[in-house]
């Protein structure tokens, strides 16, 4: 056996103290193949070694939760024997290196997580972030990522219904591509990676294994440096048409009662899928590497085990049922092979060319992998930034500037490249003025509400409050449609956890998110952690993204924030405070990023959401929009643009003008009612005891706010729609 050098060990992302653990667990030095297996399974991407102890703080159960974290995706009960299955994952590093394939395979991978559990994918969402527009790479990366997302999702035939696209200089060298998938299944036909028994055959099906994606998981768990472009071979190559065949074949196999356990081959490929299924039941496995379908000659067992070639599945079948699975795979023209069997040894044994090339215990690879309580320091608090500290500005021009800034401007150029209505169940997507997408549960009047949310600048300045706000905004966005929020998935994107300041951001954000989830009864059922998002030591903004899912019993009762007409009345529910810390306005209008973000009163969030939900269900209101980025003025502007009508509005009372217009105080909603509904609406709000401001009425062609802003709807639309197409040329 060739002796491993310190350089080889370091290249595999294994630190000296971790290598000593390997020596202790094995009682000998590993060979190169065994080192590679430890490398991918102990990567941050697969093991969550820096975050596991903190992720346990999330509430993960609830009345509707069937399966929380620990499986391929989360599962919630949506009634009538039906379940929604969903998850979000990152493909950040691959998308920076090769934007089209990185984003495309991110979409393919998250769909496999969902249909592996027996669900048919019905909706895709995303959260993508790029460097500042002035950066030389931003346009190329944006074009490639959007093309990759659309190219894969459109070809498979699953609609991409919502997402967010943001820009910041911190992402110049490390973009974020987070993909979410939602599927539907029957509650009595859900499949898991656990459940394998001793002596059962292990079968491989899907695409052949190639050399693409080798060490992808390890690469995704490391900082970028000047040589990152050379990591292109670690980016997988996707085939959406093969994915479509794989979906249909897998779902057909699931109708046969052949499966004991099933797992897609994602990060770490054949290694993680086999180890995870065996590890969950304390079993061992034997794999015959010569039987693995390969598409390249002279592939080594190292390459086969670490490849992240796409569109592949691994299943453990009931003994004697192999021929049934084989017939289905032949029907769908997919590769199929029996490549091993389960044992009672608790060990991973690999045979290749008549020799045993790997024999290691599974425990240290899975449940007994390293787990760190890394040192961390709390982010220092910042003071509020009040209106009195800020100079006077032309607030009308300021509003136009906010409408046209990269984070707010219309992303039509992006979402027009996505098929949003394939499958014919999309009720509201990015092209509709809704705070969350709506997708009908086929054949019913039910619909799922889906949203992705994050405000990184809040998390940077106060991770705990920022974490609370992300969950609260997701909750509000679903409430605004008339749906009931049920559960979330998350994707926690941060820098290097070995830096105490970064680890403090991670801890603070998780604790804030967890507290919000508890109070709002909005549990976490799945998720992903993406760390080491740094380039040359410069970290991204802390970006913990939330993907929220809710349910509306009758989609005919859903509302958006468009469709208002002349004479409709506009109200603001909630109190506005004089704090502009960490707001969009502070950044865009004053060039500052400091200050405490808005405080999130979770009890108030829940009370206000319950009121708005009741107002919608009782048909007191016809349009609803929560206030977040840009505050009151931007919220009014978006309603005007969505309905092509002006509003004659007054400012909220008892707060300075700048704060009234642009503060991002939480737990606030703009609602629109027909005059005929005023009495019922007013009585319901009065009974709640919450603060209500009568803002004004719809009409005309201008947004008029007191005596400080008069802007035409057409001018606002031009500002809102033009930036991105002009930028992309």
What is the H or E stretch that residue 708 is in?
none
SS3 278: helix
Q: Name the average pLDDT for the chain.
A: 95
Instruction: Name the band, by pLDDT with cuts 50, 70 and 90, for residue 231.
Output: very low
Distance CA 46, CA 49 (A): 8
Can you read off the two tokens belonging to residue 389? 């500290």
Active-site choice (12, 45, 54, 215): 45
**Dist. CA 355–CA 349, nearest whole Å:** 10
- How many other CB atoms are there within 10 angstroms of residue 171's CB atom? 27
Give the ranges where 254-354 is alpha helix by DSSP (H). 269-279, 301-306, 322-331
DSSP state, 495?
S
> Is 54 within 8 Å of 510 (Cβ atoms)?
yes
Residues 6+ apart with CB under 8 A from 151: 100, 104, 240
Q: For residue 215, what pLDDT is reported?
A: 67
Confidence of residue 45 (pLDDT cuts 50, 70, 90): confident
- Residue 296: count of CB within 10 angstroms of its CB: 14
Residue 367 confidence (pLDDT)? 79
For the segment 684-696, what is each residue's pLDDT rounded down to a tens digit? Answer: 999 999 999 999 9
Map residue 78 onto helix, strand or coil. Answer: coil
Spatial separation of the C-alpha atoms in residues 728 and 417, rounded to whole Å: 13
Write the DSSP string, 363-418: GGGTTTS--------PPPP-----GGGS----HHHHHHHHHHSTTTS--HHHHTTS
Q: Is the pLDDT of residue 338 over 90?
A: yes
| Position 204 pLDDT exceeds 60 | yes
**Cα-based distances in Å from 222 to 121, 215, 228, 370:** 31, 11, 10, 17
Instruction: Check: CB of residue 107 under 8 Å from CB of residue 152.
Output: yes
pLDDT at 390 exceeding the cut of 60: yes
Give the long-range contacts of residues 390-394, CB within 8 A, separation 24 or more: 390/580, 390/586, 390/590, 390/658, 391/590, 393/589, 393/658
Q: CB of 273 within 8 A of CB of 285?
A: no
pLDDT score at 268: 84
Beta strands in 91-191 (DSSP E): 120-130, 160-167, 176-186
Q: Name the maximum alpha-carbon separation found in the chain.
A: 85
Position 218 scores a pLDDT of 52
Q: Which pLDDT belongs to residue 393?
A: 95
Q: Catalytic one among 12, 54, 91, 625?
A: 91
What is the number of residues in the chain?
A: 729
Whether residue 219 is predicted with pLDDT greater than 60 in this model: the reply is: no
Q: Is 12 a catalytic residue?
A: no
What's residue 216's pLDDT? 55
DSSP per-residue codes, 426-479: EEE-TTSS-SSEEEE-TTSS-EEEEEEE--HHHHHH-HHHHHHHHHHHHHHHHH
Tell me, what's the pLDDT at 155? 97
Measured in Å, how far apart are the chain's first and last C-alpha atoms? 57
- Give CA–CA dist 153/661, Å, rounded: 39
| Mean of pLDDT values over 602-613 | 98
Model pLDDT, residue 214 = 82
For tokens 């150029």, what's the residue? 413
- Placement of tokens 């292109």 in the chain: 232
pLDDT of residue 564: 97
**In terms of DSSP bridges, do strands 347-352 and 355-361 run parallel, antiparallel, or are they unpaired?**
antiparallel
Which tens digit of pLDDT belongs to each residue from 233-265? 568 889 999 999 999 999 999 999 999 999 999
pLDDT category, 232, cuts 50, 70, 90? very low
* pLDDT, tens digit, 9 for 90 and up, residues 620-659: 999 999 999 999 999 999 999 999 999 999 999 889 999 9
Q: Give 119's DSSP letter.
A: P
Q: Which of 94-98, 509-513, 710-714 bottoms out in mean pLDDT, i.e. has the lowest?
A: 94-98
Q: Is 656 helix (H, G, I), strand (E, B) or coil?
A: coil
> Of the candidates 635, 641, 638, which has an alpha carbon nearest to the alpha carbon of residue 714?
641
**Does the structure show a pLDDT above 80 at 387?**
yes
Mean pLDDT of 43-72: 95
Given a cut of 60, whether residue 221 has pLDDT beyond it is: no
What is the Cα–Cα distance from 15 to 435, expressed in whole angstroms? 45
Q: Which two tokens stand for residue 706?
A: 């007191």
- Six-digit token string for 434: 């809704």
Give the tens place of pLDDT for each residue, 96-127. Answer: 999 999 999 999 999 999 999 999 999 999 99
Report the sign of the C-alpha dihedral through residues 409, 642, 582, 404, in that order: positive
Whole-angstrom distance, CA of residue 611 vs CA of residue 398: 32
Helix or strand holding residue 338 (H, E): strand 335-343
> Looking at the predicted structure, is the pLDDT value of residue 217 above 70?
no
Contact 570, 696 (CB under 8 A): yes
**Is 556 considered catalytic here?**
no
Per residue in 80-100, pLDDT tens? 999 999 999 999 999 999 999
Task: Give the contacts of 8 (CB within 8 A, at least 6 positions apart).
Answer: 32, 35
Q: Which of 139-153, 362-376, 560-574 has the lowest mean pLDDT?
A: 362-376
Encode burial over 61-83: b for 16+ CB neighbours within 10 A, e otherwise.
ebebbebbbebbbbbbbbeeebb
Confidence of residue 369 (pLDDT cuts 50, 70, 90): confident
How far apart CA 161 and CA 430 sit, in angstroms, is: 6
Dihedral (Cα; 269, 87, 124, 315), 10-degree rounding = 40
CA distance 305 to 204: 13
Angle, helices 322-331 vs 240-253, to 10°: value is: 140
- Quick count: other Cβ atoms within 10 Å of Cβ 410? 20
Residue 209 is classified by DSSP as B
Quick: pLDDT tens for 321-335.
Answer: 999 999 999 999 999
* Helix (H) or strand (E) segment spanning residue 22: helix 16-26
Exposure of 151 in the CB half-sphere (CA atoms within 13 A): 17
Instruction: Answer yes or no: are the C-beta atoms of 75 and 117 closer than 8 Å.
Output: yes
Pairing of strands 160-167, 120-130: parallel
Which is it for the CA torsion 636, 637, 641, 647, positive or negative?
positive
Phi-psi group of 700: left, alpha or beta (phi > 0 → left; psi -120 to 50 → alpha; rest → beta): left
Partners of 204 in the beta sheet? 314, 337
Enclosing H/E stretch for 155: helix 138-156
Pair 480, 552: CB distance under 8 Å: no
Q: Determine the Cα angle at 577 with ends 576 and 581, to 5°.
A: 120
Distance in angstroms (rounded) separating the CA atoms of residues 541 and 95: 18
Of residues 13 and 636, more confidence is placed in: 636
The burial of 712, by beta-carbon neighbours within 10 Å (0-12 exposed, 13-18 middle, 19 or more buried), is given as middle
State which H helix or E strand residue 144 sits in.
helix 138-156
CA dist 49 and 71 (Å) reads 17
DSSP string of 41-75?
HTSHHHH-TTTHHHHTTS----TTEEE-BTBSSEE
194 with 280: CB under 8 angstroms?
Answer: yes
């Amino acid at each position: 056996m060739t002796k491993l050098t310190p350089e080889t060990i370091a290249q595999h992302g294994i630190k000296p103290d971790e290598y000593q653990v390997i020596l202790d667990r094995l009682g000998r030095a590993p060979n190169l193949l065994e080192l590679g297996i430890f490398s991918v399974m102990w990567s941050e991407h697969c093991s969550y070694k820096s975050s596991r102890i903190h992720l346990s703080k999330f509430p993960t159960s609830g009345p509707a939760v069937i399966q929380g974290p620990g499986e391929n995706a989360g599962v919630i009960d949506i009634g009538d024997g039906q379940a929604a299955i969903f998850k979000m994952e990152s493909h950040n590093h691959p998308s920076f290196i090769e934007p089209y394939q990185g984003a495309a395979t991110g979409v393919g991978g998250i769909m496999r997580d969902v249909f592996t559990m027996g669900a048919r994918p019905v909706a895709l969402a995303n959260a993508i972030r790029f460097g500042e527009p002035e950066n030389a790479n931003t346009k190329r990366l944006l074009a490639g990522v959007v093309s990759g997302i659309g190219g894969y999702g459109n070809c498979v035939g699953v609609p991409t219904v919502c997402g967010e696209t943001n820009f910041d200089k911190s992402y110049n060298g490390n973009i974020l591509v987070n993909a979410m998938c939602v599927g539907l299944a029957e509650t009595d036909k859900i499949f898991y990676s656990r459940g394998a028994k001793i002596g059962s055959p292990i079968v491989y099906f899907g695409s052949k294994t190639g050399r693409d994606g080798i060490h992808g998981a390890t690469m995704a768990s490391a900082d970028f440096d000047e040589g990152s472009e050379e990591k292109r071979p670690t980016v997988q190559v996707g085939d959406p048409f093969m994915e479509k065949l794989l979906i249909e074949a897998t779902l057909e196999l699931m109708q046969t009662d052949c499966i004991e356990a099933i797992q897609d081959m994602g990060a770490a490929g054949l290694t993680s899928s086999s180890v995870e299924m065996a590890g969950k039941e304390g079993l061992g496995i034997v794999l015959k590497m010569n039987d693995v379908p390969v598409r390249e000659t002279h592939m080594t067992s190292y390459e086969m085990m670490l490849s992240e070639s796409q569109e592949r599945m691994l299943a453990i079948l009931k003994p004697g049922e192999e021929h049934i699975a084989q017939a289905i795979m032949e029907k769908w023209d997919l590769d199929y092979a029996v490549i091993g069997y389960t044992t009672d040894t608790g060990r991973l044994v690999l045979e290749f060319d008549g020799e045993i090339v790997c024999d290691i215990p599974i425990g240290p690879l899975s449940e007994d992998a390293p787990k760190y309580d890394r040192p961390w320091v709390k982010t220092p608090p910042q003071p509020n930034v009040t209106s009195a500290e800020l100079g006077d500005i032309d607030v009308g021009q300021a509003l136009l500037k906010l409408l046209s800034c990269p984070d707010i401007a219309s992303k039509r150029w992006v979402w027009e490249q996505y098929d949003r209505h394939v499958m014919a169940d999309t009720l509201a997507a990015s092209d509709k003025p809704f705070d969350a997408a709506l997708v009908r549960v086929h054949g019913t009047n039910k619909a799922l509400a889906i949203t992705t949310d994050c405000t990184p600048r809040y998390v940077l300045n106060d991770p705990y409050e920022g974490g609370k706000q992300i969950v609260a905004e997701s909750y509000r966005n679903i409430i605004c449609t008339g749906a009931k929020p049920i559960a979330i998935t998350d994707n926690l994107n941060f820098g290097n956890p070995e830096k105490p300041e970064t680890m403090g951001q991670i801890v603070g954000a998780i604790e804030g998110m967890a507290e919000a989830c508890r109070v709002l009864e909005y549990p976490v059922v799945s998720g992903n952690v993406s760390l080491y998002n740094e380039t040359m030591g410069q970290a991204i903004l802390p970006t913990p993204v939330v993907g929220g899912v809710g349910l509306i019993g009758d989609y005919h009762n859903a509302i958006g924030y468009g469709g208002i007409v002349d004479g409709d009345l506009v109200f603001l529910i909630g109190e506005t405070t004089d704090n502009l810390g960490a707001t969009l306005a502070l950044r865009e209008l004053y060039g500052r990023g400091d200050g405490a973000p808005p405080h999130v009163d979770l009890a108030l969030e829940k009370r206000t959401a319950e009121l708005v939900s009741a107002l919608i269900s009782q048909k007191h209101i016809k349009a609803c929009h929560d206030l977040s980025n840009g505050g009151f003025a931007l919220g009014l502007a978006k309603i005007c643009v969505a309905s092509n009508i002006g509003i004659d509005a007054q400012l909220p009372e008892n707060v300075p003008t700048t704060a009234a217009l642009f503060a991002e105080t939480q737990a606030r909603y703009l609602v629109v009612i027909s005059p005929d509904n005023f009495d019922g609406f007013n009585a319901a709000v009065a009974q709640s005891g919450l603060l209500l401001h009568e803002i004004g009425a719809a009409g005309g062609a201008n947004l008029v706010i007191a005596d400080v802003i008069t802007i035409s709807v057409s001018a606002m639309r031009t500002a809102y729609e033009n930036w991105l197409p002009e930028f992309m040329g």
